[in-house]
Amino acid sequence: MSGQHQPVAIDRIAVIGGGAWASALALTAARAGRQVMLWARDPRTVQAINAGEGNPAYLPGIAFDRAITATGDLGVALERADAVLLVTPAQTTRAMAEALAPHLAPATPVVLCAKGIERDTGLLLGEVLSQAAPACRPAVLSGPSFAGDVARGLPTAVTLAAADGDLADALSQALAGTQFRPYASTDLVGVQVGGALKNVLAIACGAVAGKGWGASALAALTARGFAELTRLGLALGARPETLTGLSGLGDLVLTCSSPQSRNFAFGLALGEGRSVAELAAGGKLAEGVHSAAIAVDLAARHGIEMPIGAAVSAVLEGRIGLDAALTGLMTRPLRREA
């Protein structure tokens, strides 16, 4: 057996979060035969789930086909939990992990299901979790997946990583079903880098689509974006096979090609002429907006060139207009591709 811990029997799963992705993963765990307790901050969400109405605020029209219990009490949600799925926004990870820590039994696996980089520190979310809840065992779930698809039971494959391969296997088996396939990995860094950077790159791809530049330009930008993701991932210690797998290239392709992605949709709106300020005033921002500047800064610290990421960051911060940024990318000096 790898690692120092005993094999984990995972039957009771706590899902922390009341949004669409949290509800979709709760349904997935329940379909896999697990006992599921979902924590949500909004009492209306808790009431709707417990009344058998599903989560109409975030997954309208999707009936819950399995029994899931909801609560607004973290202590109740985490009581006797064999594993925890933390499904709250990336920038709230530290605060949520600190709130979870007093209720977690030692060595409880906590699976990060958000994608991003902590804006204030440049830390990957796994590092944040280890600082805020040091007694837990961090894991990460990431890959090409939309909440609506997963909630409807449509075929989906993702990566689930933990430093201990046995734990990654156990968590994957606990969530697996005929339509949801988690592939185990021990590359925590690679899985996190893919999930975080694809959000930034999807904004650029959305902007190109919004400009009406065509499928050829979109494919080129996606490919060059993947080169940036790979350079930074390798510098941070990711494995090449992770970056070309589900949580890297797979997630990038999905997110950079569909308006279902909040990040692509944000870029699409920019390309169609809406301003960053206007979109920011409309409510919750796409995660790539939070991660862009810190991702570019992280790349600079490692001597990595990220022209697409830098262009996205500059546009979001108002240092350059979108047209100038896209033109700048298209007029970079020609060089050999590799």
Which residues are annotated as catalytic?
Answer: 198
Here the tokens at position 46 are 């808790």
Alpha-carbon span 269 to 207, nearest angstrom: 7
- DSSP lists the bridge partners of residue 216 as none
Here the tokens at position 332 are 């970079």
**109-112 vs 83-86, strand pairing mode:** parallel
Contact predicate 192/124, CB 8 Å: yes
| Secondary structure of the chain in HEC code, one letter for each residue | CCCCCCCCCCCEEEEECCCHHHHHHHHHHHHCCCEEEEECCCHHHHHHHHCCCCCCCCCCCCCCCCCCEEECCHHHHHCCCCEEEECCCHHHHHHHHHHHHHHCCCCCEEEECCCCECCCCCCEHHHHHHHHCCCCEEEEEECCCCHHHHHCCCCEEEEEEECCHHHHHHHHHHHCCCCEEEEEECCHHHHHHHHHHHHHHHHHHHHHHHCCCCHHHHHHHHHHHHHHHHHHHHHHCCCHHHHCCHHHHHHHHHHCCCCCCHHHHHHHHHHCCCCHHHHHCCCCCCHHHHHHHHHHHHHHHCCCCCHHHHHHHHHHCCCCCHHHHHHHHHCCCCCCCC
Contact predicate 177/158, CB 8 Å: no
